[in-house]
Amino acid sequence: MTSAIASAARSTLANRRAVGGVALLAAATALVAAAGVWGSFPSLLRGWLVGFAIWSAIPIGSMAWLMIHRLTGGRWGVAAAPVLRLAAAIMPLSILAFLPPVVGFQQIYPWAADPAQIPHDVARWYLNGALFALRSCIALAGWTLLGLVFAAGLGSRLLAGLGLAFFGLTVSLAAVDWYLSLEPHYVASAFAATIAIQQLLAALALTAVLAPPQIEGNVAGDIGGLLIATLLGVVYLGYMTFVVAWYGDLPDKAEWFLKRSTPVWDNVLIMALLLGALLPFAMLLLRSIRTSRLGLRIAGSLILIGSALHFCWLLVPAFEHAVAVAASATASLMVMAVATVLSGVAVRPLIGVHHAE
């Protein structure tokens, strides 16, 4: 089995599309890192981080769904496997895509530019460059290994259980490190869970959009039900975070929300809620839509748009020159998407090595 995987991996690396995808992403990461660190264009690095947050949600969420299905079983996972396995097999690209934030973290994070902004013990034992890079490497390497194993259908139930425990721990650290620490004075205990469920939602939404032929009837209804559950999870955690902050009436929490309460960001949040939550939720409540491939595709497309807007609402207001950051995030997301499409065709031999039922 190991030799079969190695052979498939060599075939993947020899594929021109895969080489082109990796080369495109590598060139983009090098350019962004150099321009951000030495060219005094921090908006490129900051936008790249936002684009990474949106893009990486799908392979990370797909990896988690594969482990969940390995533990629970169900026809929905078998039907969704072609999409989830292909997306999870893209996880190695996430290591390459996260290099600019690691190299240029001082241009992105206030605590890195000025350690005095956070308590001395926090800076010494947690929020510093070396530990930030170490935690990021552990998380991305572990997720990549799990993604490849379960994409190839080789993971056991024991590994799935341990992998989900590892994912729960590392996503809690990564969400704080990568996203919440952009504003180090703001603390939200549900933030990491919100990011994790958003990743699950994005992966499932892509599955609905691509909708293989196996996804129809009751199986489509099962995936529609999972979309409803994860969608409600994201909305509930976001709403309760606001309610807790409002009741607490603390300056740091109020400042975080006030940054996102300008007319522009209010409209972004409204569009995210309308397109990414209310409309698809109403659609999925109807059985005729929930069990239809076309209905799932429309609902999934709306959810993906809403997820991207939600990530922008969460992250972009933390930075100065928000327009430049948003433009950089859009360009970065396009580069990552093209690299993913090019590489995705080439990894099919790898994920077809073995399938565990």
Q: How is residue 183 annotated by DSSP?
A: S
Q: Give residue 224's pLDDT.
A: 92
For residue 137, pLDDT beyond 50: yes
Q: How is residue 128 annotated by DSSP?
A: S
Q: Which residue has the tokens 């997301």?
A: 333
Q: Which residues contact 244 (CB under 8 A, 6 or more apart)?
A: none
When pLDDT is averaged across residues 109-125 and rounded to a whole number, the result is 87
Q: How confident is the model at residue 298 (pLDDT cuts 50, 70, 90)?
A: very high
Q: How far is CA 188 from the centre of its chain?
A: 19
Q: Which residue has the tokens 């300008």?
A: 262
The token duo for 344 is 């995705």
Q: Name the residue ranges covered by the structural domains of the chain.
A: 2-350
Q: Which residues contact 324 (CB under 8 A, 6 or more apart)?
A: 43, 47
Q: How far is CA 248 from the centre of its chain?
A: 30
Q: Give residue 357's pLDDT.
A: 37
CB 91 within 8 A of CB 336: no
In DSSP notation, 19-42 reads HHHHHHHHHHHHHHHHHHHTSS-H
Q: Give residue 121's pLDDT.
A: 86
Strand boundaries in 169-322, DSSP class E: none
Helices 322-346 and 42-72 pack at an angle, to 10 degrees, of: 50
Q: Give residue 356's pLDDT.
A: 38
The token duo for 312 is 């922008």
Sign of CA dihedral 325, 331, 334, 335: negative
Q: Please give the residue that has the higher pLDDT: either 146 or 247.
A: 146
62-87 pLDDT tens trace? 999 999 999 998 899 999 998 999 99
Q: Give residue 5's pLDDT.
A: 45
When pLDDT is averaged across residues 300-310 and rounded to a whole number, the result is 96
When pLDDT is averaged across residues 228-241 and rounded to a whole number, the result is 95
Q: How far apart are CA 146 and CA 193, in angstroms?
A: 20
Name the average pLDDT for the chain.
Answer: 88
Q: Which of 24-38, 212-226, 240-254, 274-288 has the highest mean pLDDT?
A: 274-288
170-209 pLDDT tens trace? 999 999 999 999 999 898 999 999 999 999 999 999 999 9
Its pTM stands at 0.91
In DSSP notation, 244-282 reads HHHHHT-HHHHHHHHHT-SHHHHHHHHHHHIIIIIHHHH
